A and B are shown apart, each in its own frame.
Chain A
Amino acid sequence: MNMKSSLIKKLLLSLTFILSFFLGNMAVQAGDYPDRPISVVVAYNPGGATDFQARLVTMMAAHPKKDYLGQPIVIINKPGAGGKVGWNWFASKARNDGYDLAAYNVPHFISQSIVFDDTKYNIDNLEPIANWGADPAVLIVGPDSQFNSVADLLKFAKANPGKVTFSGAGKFVGHHIAFLQFQKASGVKITYVPHTGGVPALAAVKGGQVMAGFNNLSDAYRSQKDIKILAIADLQREETFLPDVPTLKEEGVDVDNSSVNFRGIMAPKGTDPKIIELLAAKVPLMFNDKKTLGQMKKGGSPMRIMNRAEVQAMWKERKKSLTKLLAGLKAE
């Protein structure tokens, strides 16, 4: 008797389970996405700039009083090889059901897809959702540096070709792109010293190990007392944080915004267009949340919210300019 009732119980349970499974699936098709937490892969270490910004801009996702996603976003770090490990995983292994998203860093992932043969990602197999931030590269020198302007630096560099050293966070990242453009536009030979990250690269400028460097605007802004910021590698000045710093163009060096570090969220190719549409509509609103904006400003992280169409255009344009710039620089 006991055995029998437990058998019936088990049968009933499994039936309910199977039913709920079908119903659950039907619900998804009926457009109830998302009905469980969404994961966002960050291709960098926890605690880094991309990581903590990603956490801040997604923290309001499940807020009960706001109509964003209604489900929390979970950050998953898959760091390694300057982002390649995480993005390779994302482009080749992520499920395209809308529950696997990732954070992108432009120009990093685009320049890597140009320079390296073994990357599995490029702008064609990823679907942008929205952009949250833009961190331009700034040209910095140490506090006691003999250079007080871009002109000073160029004058010295022209007289001493190859003797001026620039630090930056590794190769083929925004800082390196800014350096390549700067060298090309000014026509002088400078030496690039790659570091293992933005923070050590900044320390090298502060400590006078190198004469100058390109670094993130946000990090440079935070340590203004220990460095001099000479120029910004963008098309316009950064009005919120550094309104007095001129652009390189204003200083007579023709450098555009190719090196600006854009951060945003993307989905793998093959994700249901309806889901992408929904995310593209809701995610920018979530980025624009007052609390998020306040936290980001407090952390010194410049926001630049762009919708899906704008990001698509930006990716295409970046691919074109980077391919031109990096021609002949292919890594062996």
Chain B
Amino acid sequence: MEFLNYFSNVFTFANILILILGTVGGLLMGAAPGLSPTMAVALLIPFTFQMTPEQGLIMLGAVYTSTVAGGAISAILLRIPGAPANIATVMDGYPMAKNGRSTEALHYCFISSFIGGVIGILVLIFFTPVLADFALKFGPSHMFWIAILGVTVISSLDSKSIIKGLFSGAIGLWLATIGYDAVLGVERFVFNPIFSGGINIIAALVGLFAIPQVLSMLEGKQSQADQFQMEKKSLLESFKYNISRIKALIVGSVTGTIIGLIPGAGGQIAGLVSYAQIKKTSTNKENFGKGEPDGIIAAESANNAMVGPSLVPLLTLGIPGSPTAAVLLGGLLIHGLFPGSNLFTVYAETTWTFINSLLVAQFMMLIFGLYISGLAKYVMKTPTHYMAAAITILAIFGTYSVQHNFADVIVMLFLGTTMFFLSKFGFTAAPVVLGIILGPIAETNFNQAKIIADTQNGIFDYLTAGPLNLTIIALCLISILYGAYGDKAKKEKK
């Protein structure tokens, strides 16, 4: 119970002020398309130069926590995920908002984020020594299978047509091959030097979701206020319902925790994988994609449960469990805090204050998040032409700010416009983005596996050796078979 000794450290005036600022700022940054948690933390690192290590880490931790949850705000209200972690939230969040249940959807989002987040931090507090070496076990072969597990999710993302979903996923995988490949050391599909950096994932995310949304807003004639009939549901009712969805909460939190521990996988996969799991095992599958609260609950508890565990390998071994944790590593090093056992001995006070503050940040996120939920109705009542303009500005600003590259803005607009026309034929954006996320993970690790395997007994042997590989392969098979079986059962029912 060492962490309890340092609990009071969190509650100084300055620390609480930083926590509040970090949380509110984080929620807003998370809601802005383009400002992903990784970007937000990276942008704030220079500000920590002038702070004490505790204050700096508290701010970065609060921002990390709340940007992940904040991304759900735009996912639910605008159908534009604030960050890759919130893609799965769009699936049922936006339909709920469309049915006039936006406030309720946001309630579920923040309550589930809170529950998942607290579970994640508790794992970080109590199981760090046990789990420290877990991340080291993941080599190229395991990461390859994790990516394949992600690909199996595609079939459950698109409820209308699996073929179209797979085709969209393939387009995403192809887009991911554009640019310079670090393992092979060559460039592919670079017809113009602007593509040598590849397709930026945030540019693609913003383009594929925001631009079709803007265009269809301009297409429609009625204002959003006419479309949306606001239903009222009290916060207490939301709480009661949310807590009663134990299965969705467990699926989300467990998936998020495990994926957080795996180096480099991160929240984007956590949300999608847990969404797919809850959908497959649900008794009312038909409701998913039409505004099923379980979809939000599973996705949001997963991406926040990922936050704490992603710090386990970071703090003990210097191996980040998510892209955002990788940036946080820079924040630690600047203050002379080197990951490893020293953090829990020499710098125990700083480290435990930081971890405890993450726990407090969950409460802050809940309070301010629920407050913001109440304001959702104003967004929904804004006339569509204003919304369309605002989203376009945010999309362009957000995309440019990622890497100060105007080419990204052009790519974003191009992908978005293409997606708008493809969506007329029943294609959806989520599998494309999933392809872009998973492509590099699968390919890089396969290429590394091939190089290593050639010095041993060949690629087949390398990819199937050991219990960890076999476990992940089994999970992939279960995921595919369960999906196929579910489809068959559905057809027979009809």
Residues of chain A at the chain B interface (Cβ within 8 Å): 45-49, 51-52, 55-56, 59, 75-82, 84-85, 88-89, 115-116, 118, 120, 162-165, 169-172, 191-197, 199-200, 202-204, 206-210, 219, 222-223, 225-226, 295, 298-300, 331-332
Contact = CB atoms under 8 A, between A and B. Distances in A.
Given A170-B185, A199-B320, A225 B340 contact: yes
Given A79-B403, A84-B196, A118-B196, A331 B451 contact: no
Given A203-B136, A207-B139, A222-B338, A52 B330 contact: yes
B403 A51 contact: no
A81 B186 contact: no
B197 A85 contact: yes
A226 B318 CA distance: 10
Contacts of B189: none
A82 B180 contact: yes
A223 B330 contact: no
Interface stretch (B39-47, B81-89, B242-250, B478-486): B39-47
A112 to B, nearest CB: 10
A203 B263 contact: yes
Interface residues of B, number: 57
B42 A45 contact: yes
A-B pairs with lowest CB-CB distance, top 5: A80-B197, A171-B185, A46-B42, A81-B180, A298-B336
Given A47-B329, A81-B196, A331-B185, A209 B319 contact: no
Given A78-B405, A200-B264, A207 B136 contact: yes
A76 B405 CA distance: 10
B329 A55 contact: no
B334 interface: yes
Contacts of B431: none
Contact of B404 (A51, A78, A172, A202): A78
B182 A195 contact: yes
B318 A194 contact: no
**Which of B42, B182, B336 has the most chain A CB within a 10 Å cutoff?**
B182
Contacts of A165: 451-452, 455
A206 B338 CA distance: 16
A332 B186 contact: yes
A68 to B, nearest CB: 17
B25 interface: no
A209 B452 contact: yes
A225 B346 CA distance: 15
B140 A163 contact: no
B308 to A, nearest CB: 20
Given A79-B197, A84-B196, A207-B136, A196 B333 contact: no
A206 B319 contact: yes
B388 to A, nearest CB: 30
Interface of B: 39, 41-43, 45-46, 49, 135-140, 179-180, 182-187, 190, 193, 196-198, 200, 263-264, 317-320, 326-331, 333-336, 338-341, 403-405, 444, 448, 451-452, 454-456
B185 A300 contact: no
Given A163-B455, A203-B136, A77 B182 contact: no
Contacts of A88: 193, 196
Contacts of B43: 46
A170 B182 contact: yes
A142 B273 CA distance: 33
Nearest to B50: A59
B349 to A, nearest CB: 17
B140 A196 contact: no
Contacts of A295: 49, 334
Contacts of B135: 203, 207
Contact of A55 (B46, B183, B327): B46
Contacts of A169: 182
B333 A299 contact: yes
Contacts of B182: 82, 169-171, 194-197
B180 A76 contact: no
Contacts of A210: 452
A203 B39 CA distance: 23
Contacts of A299: 333-336
A55 B49 contact: yes
A188 to B, nearest CB: 13
13 contacts: A46-B39, A46-B330, A47-B45, A47-B328, A51-B330, A77-B404, A116-B187, A171-B182, A193-B451, A199-B318, A206-B317, A222-B333, A299-B336
A141 to B, nearest CB: 15
Contacts of A226: 317, 340
Nearest to A164: B455
A295 B451 CA distance: 39
Given A209-B452, A222-B339, A84 B264 contact: no
Nearest to B405: A78
A80 B455 contact: no
A64 B102 CA distance: 51
Contacts of B319: 199, 203, 206
A81 B444 contact: no
Contact of A194 (B42, B185, B329): B185
B42 A47 contact: yes
A324 B427 CA distance: 52
**Which of B43, B46, B49, B335 has the most chain A CB within a 10 Å cutoff?**
B46
**Which of A49, A76, A80, A331 has the most chain B CB within a 10 Å cutoff?**
A80
A260 B368 CA distance: 49
Nearest to A39: B404
A202 B340 contact: no
A56 B404 contact: no
A49 B339 CA distance: 15
Contact of B179 (A80, A206, A208, A298): A80
Given A55-B46, A118-B193, A209-B139, 18 more contacts: A47-B326, A47-B329, A52-B330, A56-B49, A78-B403, A80-B179, A80-B405, A120-B193, A164-B455, A170-B183, A193-B448, A202-B318, A203-B318, A204-B139, A207-B135, A222-B339, A295-B49, A331-B187
A81 B185 contact: no
A223 B15 CA distance: 30
A85 B341 CA distance: 38
B49 A47 contact: no
A319 B319 CA distance: 34
Given A45-B42, A162-B455, A222-B340, A81 B179 contact: yes
B334 to A, nearest CB: 6
Contacts of B329: 47, 199
Given A47-B42, A88-B193, A196 B183 contact: yes
A173 to B, nearest CB: 9
Contacts of B403: 77-80, 85
Contacts of A192: 451
**Which of A52, A164, A298 has the most chain B CB within a 10 Å cutoff?**
A52
B433 to A, nearest CB: 19
Nearest to B140: A209
B188 to A, nearest CB: 11
A265 B365 CA distance: 41
Contacts of B139: 204, 207, 209
Nearest to B45: A47
Contacts of B137: 207
A299 B329 CA distance: 11
